[in-house]
C-alpha cells in the first residue's frame, strides 16, 4: 500500500482539531461560582431571635393550657360549666385575677340596708315537733321585733328516731339592718345520729376512685346531707382525714369537724398533731374557729383569715357548723353574710364553738329527707342553689351525711 503523503496527514489532523474545537464551542459552560452566603437566621439580630423564642413559648403554653382546659371541662362533674371554668382559672395561675373580678362584682352588687320587712318566713320542716328526747333546743330568740309567725321555732325534718326527729330546722331574721335576710339553721341530736365525711370527685385531690355520693347501701337511714369546707388549696394547709386515709396532714390551731369512733362529733381547734390518731374516724379542717367559748373570735376583722378569695367582709352566701353546750351539732347558712355575721348567727342559735364552712351560692347546701330511703328531699332554705338531691349522685366537693343511729 502506498504511504500517505505528509500533506494528507496534516490535513487529517487539522480536521480532527477543528472537530474538537467545534464540540468545545457547543458544550455549555458552567455558571461562575459565587461566594457562599451566610444563612438568613445567622444574620438575624438577637432581638429577632428572642421574639421568635417568646412566640414559640407562648404557642406551646397556649396548646398546653387549651389541652388542660378541655380535659377539665370534659371530666365527670355536676358543677355548671361557667363555675368550672372559673375554678380552672383559679387553679391555673389566675387566682388573683379571679378574686379581683369577684370583689368588684360583689362590690357593685352589694345589698342595700333597710327595705320593707318580710311578712312571712319560708316554710321548712314537716311539723312543729313534740320531742321525746332527753334534750331539745329552746326556740331561737327573735332578733327583730315583732317576730313573724313561727320565727325561731324548731320543726321536725324527717323520720322519728326514738320517738322524735333527731334533725330539727328553723329560720329567723338575724339582722335588723337587713330585714329581708333569712338564716336557715339545723340542729342535729348527737345521741340519735351518726355522721360520715365523704370525699368528692375533685376535692380533696385523690386517686379519682372516690364514690363521691351517699353510698346506696346506707340511704335507708339517711337523714340529711350538707356541704363541707373550702378547697384545701384555699385554706393555707388545712387537713383532711376520712375512710382511714389521710389526704392532707392536720394542722395545729385550725377549726376541725371531728368524728369519733363512738359516734360523737365535735367542732374544735385542733391540737392533736398531723395524724388524727386512734379513735378518730374523720377530721375536716377549715380556717380558725369563728366562735369559741361562746364568744366571737376577735380576729374576725382580719380579712386574710376568712377566705382566700373573698375574705371576711364581702357579703355572700356563707355556711358554718358548730356545737351547743350539750354536744349537738348546729348548722347555719344565709345569703349576704360576712364572716362575723355568720358567727353571730351560729352563736345566737346556741353554738358555743363554731367554724366557717364553704361560701358562695354554688357550694352552700343543706338537704334533709322527710322519709326513709332518701325520700321526700327538701332544702333548708328554698333559695339554696343546688337541688335537694345533691350528694345522691357523684359530686365534685366533699360533704357530710347524717344517718339515724337506729332504724327508727
Q: Which residues, listed in sequence order, are joined to residue 161 by a DSSP beta bridge?
A: 164
- Model confidence at 144, pLDDT cuts 50, 70, 90, reads very high
3-state SS string over the chain? CCCCCHHHHHHHHHHHHHHHHHHHHHCCCCCCCCCCCCCCHHHCCHHHHHHHHHHHHHHHHHHHHHHHHHHHHHCCCCCCHHHHHHHHHHHHHHHHHHHHHHHHHHHHCCCCCCCCCCCCCCCCCCCECCCCCCCCCCCCCCCCCCCCCCCCCCEECCCCECCECCEEEEEECCCCCCCCCCEEEEEECCCCEEEEEECCCCCCCCCCCCCCCCCHHHHHHEEEEEECCCCHHHCCCCCEEECCEEEECCCCCCEEEEEECCCCEEEEECCCCCCCCCCEEEEEECCCEEEECCEECHHHHCHHHCCCCCCCCCCEEEEEEEECCCCCEEEEEEEEECHHHHHHHHHHCCCCEEEEEEECCCCCCEEEEEECCCEEEEECCCCCCCCCCCCCCCCCCCEEEEEECCCC
Give me the mean pLDDT over the 201-228 stretch: 92
Give the pLDDT of residue 304.
63
- Model confidence at 239, pLDDT cuts 50, 70, 90, reads very high
Give me the mean pLDDT over the 85-89 stretch: 63
Give me the mean pLDDT over the 248-257 stretch: 97
Query: First vs last Cα of the chain: how many Å apart?
Result: 143
pLDDT for 22 beyond 90: no
Give the pLDDT of residue 206.
80
Domain boundaries, the chain: 83-112, 155-404
Quote the cell numbers at residue 137.
333546743
Quote the cell numbers at residue 237.
394547709
23-47 per-position pLDDT tens digit: 655 555 555 565 555 555 555 677 7
Closest CA to 265 of 217, 200, 211, 330: 330
Give the pLDDT of residue 178.
92
Give the pLDDT of residue 5.
58
- Model confidence at 407, pLDDT cuts 50, 70, 90, reads very low
> Considering the chain, what is the average pLDDT of its residues?
84
Give the pLDDT of residue 136.
83
- Model confidence at 314, pLDDT cuts 50, 70, 90, reads confident
Q: Which residues, listed in sequence order, are joined to residue 168 by a DSSP beta bridge?
A: 156, 187
What pTM was estimated for this model as a whole? Answer: 0.80
- Model confidence at 313, pLDDT cuts 50, 70, 90, reads low
The more confidently predicted of residues 47 and 128 is 47
CB of 137 closer than 8 Å to CB of 186: no
The more confidently predicted of residues 363 and 67 is 363
Give the pLDDT of residue 61.
64
The more confidently predicted of residues 132 and 297 is 297
The more confidently predicted of residues 338 and 33 is 338
Taking CA 236 as the corner, what is the angle to CA 232 and CA 240, rounded to the nearest 5 degrees? Answer: 40
- Model confidence at 382, pLDDT cuts 50, 70, 90, reads very high
pLDDT for 2 beyond 50: no
pLDDT for 98 beyond 50: yes
Amino acid at each position: 500500500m502506498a504511504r500517505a503523503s505528509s500533506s494528507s496527514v496534516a490535513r487529517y489532523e487539522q480536521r480532527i482539531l477543528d472537530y474538537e474545537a467545534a464540540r468545545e464551542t457547543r458544550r455549555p459552560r458552567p455558571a461562575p461560582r459565587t461566594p457562599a452566603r451566610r444563612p438568613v437566621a445567622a444574620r438575624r439580630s438577637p432581638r429577632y431571635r428572642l421574639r421568635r423564642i417568646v412566640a414559640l413559648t407562648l404557642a406551646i403554653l397556649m396548646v398546653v393550657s387549651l389541652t388542660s382546659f378541655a380535659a377539665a371541662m370534659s371530666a365527670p362533674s355536676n358543677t355548671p360549666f361557667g363555675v368550672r371554668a372559673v375554678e380552672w382559672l383559679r387553679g391555673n395561675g389566675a387566682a388573683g385575677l379571679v378574686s379581683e373580678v369577684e370583689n368588684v362584682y360583689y362590690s357593685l352588687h352589694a345589698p342595700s340596708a333597710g327595705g320593707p320587712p318580710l311578712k312571712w318566713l319560708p316554710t321548712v320542716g314537716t311539723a312543729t315537733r313534740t320531742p321525746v328526747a332527753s334534750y331539745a333546743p329552746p326556740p331561737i330568740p327573735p332578733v327583730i321585733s315583732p317576730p313573724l309567725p313561727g320565727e325561731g321555732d324548731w320543726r321536725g325534718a324527717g323520720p322519728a328516731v326514738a320517738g322524735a326527729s333527731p334533725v330539727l330546722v328553723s329560720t329567723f331574721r338575724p339582722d335588723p339592718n337587713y330585714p329581708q335576710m333569712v338564716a336557715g339553721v339545723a340542729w342535729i341530736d348527737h345521741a340519735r345520729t351518726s355522721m360520715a365525711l365523704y370525699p368528692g370527685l375533685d376535692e380533696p385531690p385523690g386517686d379519682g376512685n372516690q364514690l363521691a355520693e351517699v353510698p346506696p347501701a346506707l340511704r335507708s337511714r339517711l337523714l340529711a346531707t350538707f356541704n363541707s369546707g373550702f378547697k384545701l388549696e384555699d385554706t393555707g394547709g388545712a387537713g383532711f382525714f376520712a375512710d382511714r386515709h389521710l389526704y392532707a396532714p392536720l394542722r395545729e390551731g385550725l377549726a376541725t369537724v371531728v368524728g369519733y369512733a363512738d359516734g360523737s362529733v365535735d367542732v374544735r381547734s385542733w391540737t392533736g398533731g398531723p395524724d388524727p390518731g386512734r379513735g378518730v374516724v374523720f377530721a375536716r379542717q377549715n380556717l380558725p374557729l369563728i366562735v369559741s367559748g361562746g364568744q366571737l373570735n376577735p380576729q374576725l376583722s382580719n380579712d386574710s383569715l376568712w377566705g382566700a378569695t373573698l375574705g371576711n367582709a364581702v357579703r355572700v352566701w356563707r355556711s358554718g357548723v358548730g356545737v351547743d353546750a350539750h354536744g349537738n351539732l348546729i348548722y347555719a347558712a344565709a345569703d349576704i353574710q360576712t364572716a362575723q355575721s355568720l358567727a353571730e348567727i351560729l352563736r345566737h342559735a346556741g353554738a358555743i364553738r363554731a367554724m366557717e364552712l364553704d361560701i358562695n351560692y354554688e357550694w352552700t347546701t343543706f338537704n334533709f329527707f322527710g322519709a326513709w330511703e332518701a325520700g321526700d328531699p327538701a332544702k333548708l332554705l328554698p333559695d339554696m342553689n343546688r337541688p335537694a338531691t345533691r350528694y345522691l349522685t357523684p359530686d365534685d366537693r366533699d360533704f357530710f351525711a347524717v344517718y339515724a343511729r337506729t332504724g327508727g
